[in-house]
Structure 1
Amino acid sequence: MNRKVIIVLLVIATLAIGFFAMKGLSSLKEAPKKNLDKKKLPIVKVEAVNYHELSSPIVEKGRLASNLEVNLSSEVVGRIVEAGVPLKVGQKFKKGQLLIRVYEEDAKMDLRAQKSRFLNKLASNLPDIKVDYTDNFEVWMNFFNAINLEKAIPELPSVKSDQEKVFMASRNILGDYYAIKSAEVKLNKRKIYAPFNGSYVEVNTQIGSVAGMGSKLAGIIESNNLELQVPIESKEISWLNLNEKVDILDSQGEVIFTGKLVRKSDFVDQGTQSISVFVKLENTNGKELYQGQFLTARFNGKMIDNVMEIPRNAVFSSNKVFVVEGDILKAKVINVVKRNENTLVFNGLKEGEILVIEPPVKATENMQVQIKK
């Protein structure tokens, strides 16, 4: 019996010694400290809120369009013939070049016939003029001799008395003369010359087709007189002033040349709710430009007091940002003054608050973070 008691006591003593040994060893192990591993905390880039006066430019893309676009229409009926400049979209031409010619040989023949009949009538009346209007006979004789069937008819002599005027009218000399002048004007309308250096943007006819009265034959633009048409949000249009300098930028944001704001529309585009402004290009340094080409315009805008500019990706839910209090993120509402393409101008926070300008992915309020040094 004593032996069994001794064995039980030995077992209990062994277990007790093992238990206290484990407790002692575990006490030697350092307990982990919660959230002290700074390497695992999200890093945020911050900036202290500091308000000041700011120039906030407006940057928008626009499309080049010619300041002068003309539709060529026919004022006579006839067949289109070769003129020298090909009737092709994109074809360039110089000022004064013949662009479109309507067949005119039949009209020339009719005009010569009219002049010939007029000469015949004038010749039959010259003897009466010599007798009745002697003081003006030499003028009429010189007029008769100056008429050339191949050239424009000269100016009609001035009559010196009412009797002479009645005589000319009764013989229909005045009527025949002005009929010839009208025919000459119509003959000139069979040729259309380039009013400026430019190119075709639209062609609605071709060699051999018949031009109808008033039909549109082609559309042309002046190549060297381009404007940049830029749509601006209606709420920002008041920030722009006529005649202000405008920078024209390339795809990298570098200034390639300048322009001047020359016009602002007084209506809103119903589709985009924007207002178009027009920039006349200056100092293009010989750079080749084309109608329809897109360019970026940077307007100076105006000075804004008591604001700060931050990246747009620092803002969420349209008007909220994170600030750091201690090492905890807190969401706050800001007053957005102006939105730019990549930045945002605001106020509404207290100066000196630590504003997060590069929030971490999936940032939430009360998240513990560390500030980027």
Structure 2
Amino acid sequence: MTRKVILSALGLALIIGALFLAKHLIDSKNKPKPVVPKVVKTVLVDTVKNTTIPVVISANGNLMAKERVELYSEVQGIFRSGSKLFKAGQKYNSGETLIRLDASEYYASVQSAKSNLYNSIAAIMPDLRLDFPEVYPKWQAYLNNFDLKNNTPELPEMSGEKENYFITGRGIISAYYNVKNLEQRLAKYRIAAPFTGILTEALVTEGTLVRSGQKLGEFINPSVYEMQVAVSKSYADVIKEGAKVELSNLEKTKNYQGVVARVNGSIDPTTQTITAFVDVKHEDLKEGMYLEANLNAENVDDAIEIDRNLLLDSQEIYVVKDSLLDVIPVKPAHFSDRTVVLKDIPNGTVILRKPVPGAYAGMQVKAATTDNAE
């Protein structure tokens, strides 16, 4: 009997507990959800004010000396030492000897030919005195001024056909030009600096045998450099000779002034670019230095310049209207690495200054003009 009472009491307690648990679950389910406060993003904005935007084309390249000479030997001989060592970095003044080859053997043959010419003219002097007394004085003066140590002087001008036939028939003319030809070749044993500059490459040393056609080195003028840059063909009609160019090194620590010296008249069919050559002068510049150039191409009227990240793929930008984001179509006029130039956006339009993550048309925002705004 007692056992039945205990079991009945336990069953009744379980039933009552289940009822209370069910009521608690129903009450908790009907509780209102907490209201999450709506977050309004603060965005940086600018007000459009159209102006004239200068279009600057960015390009880069390496400097090359505008005046450079590759030195080659046209004759063969032993490289003789001079007043300066033929080494890279050596400076020479205009007209100063760069290379001198041993020409003693060839010089002797030149002197022999000059002596033969002198003797040939001297041999005809008695005939000239008898047959052509009127031209004898000028030929006598020519012999008097003939110096084997100096270059052969030009022959006297012929006064008539008889004199010409007489001189030519004695082999004087052919002997003269043979001597001049030898003298021209003798001059090639010495290579002089064509301008004041510096030797950038030396491929031979004193005492070595230099052969005809052998490259000897390179010589440049370090006072003027030029940089070759390639720009889009769309700027072919705006890149002009004489245009000013701003140049800088990669570290952006030094700036230089340049000018467009030449513009190629043809477009590269592979890259569809046109080549411009920029001249630049500065004592800090060296051949091979890498520079960045900004060329002033044209001016775009009634335009603004914004960050490229603000331009959507659909050629639209975000604007702020009544605290809501909206989009408007735009017309890009020029792209650079970081910015884009846009035309025909109405003055007074409020646009974003910085991109907003997760932005969409209709998004509620709070406009601010400074980074410190809350």
Q: What is the Cα deviation at residue 118 of structure 1?
A: 2.8
Task: Letter of the 2:135 partner, please give it.
Answer: N
Quote the Cα distance in structure 2 between the aligned partners of 1:270 and 1:294.
26
From 354, 358, 361, the equivalent of 1:358 is 354
Residues 303 and 345 of structure 2 are in contact (CA less than 8 Å); yes or no, is this contact kept in structure 1? no
Q: Cα RMSD between the aligned structures?
A: 3.5
Matched position secondary structure for 2:295: strand
Matched position secondary structure for 1:267: strand
| 1:53-80: CA deviation from partner (whole Å, max 9, x where unpaired) | 3233333334322222333333334343
Task: Letter of the 2:153 partner, please give it.
Answer: P
Matched position secondary structure for 1:55: strand
Residues 84 and 99 of structure 1 are in contact (CA less than 8 Å); yes or no, is this contact kept in structure 2? no
Quote the Cα distance in structure 2 between the aligned partners of 1:222 and 1:84.
20
Task: Letter of the 1:81 partner, please give it.
Answer: R
Tell me what 2:222 maps to.
Answer: 223
Tell me what 2:196 maps to.
Answer: 197
Tell me what 2:66 maps to.
Answer: 67
From 293, 300, 307, the equivalent of 2:303 is 307
Tell me what 2:147 maps to.
Answer: 148
Quote the Cα distance in structure 2 between the aligned partners of 1:250 and 1:121.
67
Residues 76 and 209 of structure 2 are in contact (CA less than 8 Å); yes or no, is this contact kept in structure 1? no
Tell me what 2:342 maps to.
Answer: 346
Q: Map of 1:3-18 to 2, 5 A cutoff?
A: none
TM-score (norm 2): 0.78
Which stretch of structure 1 is more off in the superposition, 170-179 or 182-191?
170-179
Quote the Cα distance in structure 2 between the aligned partners of 1:125 and 1:114.
17
Q: What is the Cα deviation at residue 361 of structure 1?
A: 3.6
Residues 249 and 290 of structure 2 are in contact (CA less than 8 Å); yes or no, is this contact kept in structure 1? no
TM-score (norm 1): 0.78
Residues 61 and 294 of structure 1 are in contact (CA less than 8 Å); yes or no, is this contact kept in structure 2? yes
Decide whether aligned partners of structure 1 residues 183 and 50 sit closer, same or farther in structure 2, where only a CA change above 3 A counts: same
Q: Map of 1:51-90 to 2, 5 A cutoff?
A: 51-90=50-89
Residues 132 and 163 of structure 2 are in contact (CA less than 8 Å); yes or no, is this contact kept in structure 1? yes
Tell me what 1:34 maps to.
Answer: 36
Percent identity at matched positions? 26
Tell me what 2:113 maps to.
Answer: 114
Q: What is the Cα deviation at residue 106 of structure 1?
A: 0.8
Task: Letter of the 2:101 partner, please give it.
Answer: V
Q: What is the Cα deviation at residue 304 of structure 1?
A: 1.4
Matched position secondary structure for 1:154: coil
Q: What is the Cα deviation at residue 193 of structure 1?
A: 0.8
| 1:10-40: CA deviation from partner (whole Å, max 9, x where unpaired) | x9xxx8xx99xx99xx99xxx854334x4xx
Tell me what 2:122 maps to.
Answer: 123
Task: Letter of the 2:56 partner, please give it.
Answer: P
Matched position secondary structure for 2:237: helix
| 1:121-157: CA deviation from partner (whole Å, max 9, x where unpaired) | 3333333333333333343333323322222223323
Matched position secondary structure for 2:156: coil
Decide whether aligned partners of structure 1 residues 266 and 178 sit closer, same or farther in structure 2, where only a CA change above 3 A counts: closer
Q: What is the Cα deviation at residue 254 of structure 1?
A: 7.8
Tell me what 1:4 maps to.
Answer: none
Residues 73 and 210 of structure 2 are in contact (CA less than 8 Å); yes or no, is this contact kept in structure 1? no
Residues 302 and 344 of structure 2 are in contact (CA less than 8 Å); yes or no, is this contact kept in structure 1? no
Figure out how many residues of one structure are paired with residues of the other and give that number. Answer: 348
Residues 197 and 224 of structure 1 are in contact (CA less than 8 Å); yes or no, is this contact kept in structure 2? no
Quote the Cα distance in structure 1 between the aligned partners of 2:158 and 2:346.
92
Task: Letter of the 2:177 partner, please give it.
Answer: Y
1:211 aligns with 2:224: no
Quote the Cα distance in structure 1 between the aligned partners of 2:333 and 2:274.
20
Decide whether aligned partners of structure 1 residues 300 and 254 sit closer, same or farther in structure 2, where only a CA change above 3 A counts: farther
Matched position secondary structure for 1:96: coil
Quote the Cα distance in structure 1 between the aligned partners of 2:280 and 2:203.
30
Structure 1 stretches of at least 4 aligned residues deviating more than 6 Å after TM superposition: none
Which runs of no fewer than 5 residues in structure 2 stay unpaired? Answer: 1-12
Quote the Cα distance in structure 2 between the aligned partners of 1:271 and 1:93.
41
Matched position secondary structure for 1:150: coil
Q: What is the Cα deviation at residue 348 of structure 1?
A: 6.0
Decide whether aligned partners of structure 1 residues 205 and 318 sit closer, same or farther in structure 2, where only a CA change above 3 A counts: farther
Task: Letter of the 2:36 partner, please give it.
Answer: K
